[in-house]
Structure 1
């Protein structure tokens, strides 16, 4: 994808990201960092839980998510802040006519 197309894509409004029963959300910059994975995004938006003061490094991610099952179970036990792209997607699903 060309850079101009990517920049245009990143500026789409919520309405422009929705076509009929399809809505697109994607990771965007939060707290000065754009995550590449779900785990990366969760760690970034919950830095204080992990004792991080800056965005997570590759080593941070690898060490914190070395056991995916343990990481997933922690999600159920801690009061996590969800990354904004997840909140937006779940809110759309909550109000989408496809779910009614």
Structure 2
């Protein structure tokens, strides 16, 4: 079931990201979709962002609350450039987990 959910979410994101050059930062729920997501990206120069904005715990909480309004559960998805430093990725995951959020990478 998790694999199917991931594939559907990936297809959904691919469809909308192909239509718009803005970085995707949240996916809210409608219809039968019960799990939303907040996307955190790590660039090749190790900048951690949510959408176009520099990552902060308060920004993540705000985005999480927006998604939680329409979804039963929320996952924070980390998308890292292949040349991003492992330490930055690890530290970001640890920060998000310490805030009590479910993380997917």
Query: What TM-score comes out, normalization by structure 2 length?
Result: 0.29
Task: Select the structure of larger CA radius of gyration.
Answer: 1
- Which structure shows the higher strand fraction? 2
- TM norm structure 1: 0.30
